[in-house]
Amino acid sequence: RIGSATSLSSAIINNRLQELVKLFKERTEKVKEKLTDPDVSSEDESPTASPAAAPVPPPGGEPEGDKPAGDEHYCEMLCCTFKYSPWLDRLKNYRFPSSIDPLTNLMYVLWLFFVVMAWNWNCWLIPVRWAFPYQTPSNIHCWLAVDYLCDLIYLLDILVFQTRLQFVRGGDIITDKKAMKENYLRSQRFKMDVLCLLPLDFFYFKVGVNPLLRFPRCLKYMAFFEFNNRLEAILSKAYIYRVIRTTAYLLYSLHVNSCLYYWASAYEGLGSTTWVYDGEGNSYIRCYYWAVKTLITIGGLPDPKTLFEIVFQLLNYFTGVFAFSVMIGQMRDVVGAATAGQTYYRSCMDSTIKYMNFYKIPKTVQNRVKTWYEYTWHSQGMLDESELLVQLPDKMRLDIAIDVNYNIVSKVALFQGCDRQMIFDMLKRLRSVVYLPNDYVCKKGEIGREMYIIQAGQVQVLGGPDGKTVLVTLKPGSVFGEISLLAAGGGNRRTANVVAHGFANLFILDKKDLNEILVHYPESQKLLRKKAKKMLQNNNKPRDEKGARGDSLIIPPKADTPKLFQAALAATGRMGGKGPLAQLRWRLKELKMMQ
List pLDDT tens digits, range 121-170: 999 999 999 999 999 999 999 999 999 999 999 999 999 999 999 999 88
Interval 569-587: pLDDT, tens: 566 555 555 556 666 666 7
Task: Please name each of the domains of the chain with its CATH number.
Answer: 91-234 (1.20.120), 236-383 (1.10.287), 392-540 (2.60.120.10)
Please state the rounded mean pLDDT for residues 204-230.
Answer: 93
Out of 49-58, 161-170, 287-296, 556-565, least confident range: 49-58
Q: Are 273 and 306 in contact, with CB atoms under 8 Å apart?
A: yes
Q: How far apart are CA 416 and CA 42, in angstroms?
A: 11
Q: Are 429 and 517 in contact, with CB atoms under 8 Å apart?
A: yes
Question: What's the mean pLDDT when you consider all of the chain?
Answer: 79
Query: Does the pLDDT of residue 426 top 70, yes or no?
Result: yes
Give the angle subtended at the CA of 310 by the CAs of 305 and 311, to the nearest 5°. 150
Interval 33-57: pLDDT, tens: 666 555 444 444 333 443 443 444 4
Residue with the larger pLDDT of the pair 517 and 581: 517
What is the separation of C-alpha 497 from the centre of its chain, rounded to a whole number of angstroms? 32
**DSSP conformation letters of 140-195:** HHHHHHHHHHHHHHHHHIIIIIGGGB-EEETTEEE--HHHHHHHHHTSHHHHHHHH
For residue 530, the SS3 value is: helix
For 477, residues 6+ apart whose C-beta sits below 8 A from its C-beta are 408, 411, 453, 454
Give the angle subtended at the CA of 318 by the CAs of 134 and 212, to the nearest 5°. 30
| pLDDT for the residue numbered 56 | 42
Residues of the chain with pLDDT > 90, as a percent, come to 27
Q: How far apart are CA 500 and CA 506, in angstroms?
A: 10
Q: Are 310 and 268 in contact, with CB atoms under 8 Å apart?
A: no
Nearest residue to 408 via CA among 474, 322, 314, 313 = 474
Q: How far apart are CA 567 and CA 581, in angstroms?
A: 11
Query: Does the pLDDT of residue 190 top 80, yes or no?
Result: yes
DSSP 8-state class, residue 79: T
Residue with the larger pLDDT of the pair 5 and 145: 145
For 399, residues 6+ apart whose C-beta sits below 8 A from its C-beta are none
Out of 88-92, 96-100, 158-162, 296-300, least confident range: 88-92
| pLDDT for the residue numbered 68 | 43
For 498, residues 6+ apart whose C-beta sits below 8 A from its C-beta are 440, 441, 442, 452, 459, 460, 461, 462, 480
Task: Report which listed range, 380-384, 484-488, 493-497, is most confident.
Answer: 493-497
> What angle do the packed helices 522-539 and 511-518 form, to 10 degrees?
140
CA distances from residue 43 to 40, 264, 412, 487, 549 in whole angstroms, order as listed: 10, 90, 14, 19, 11
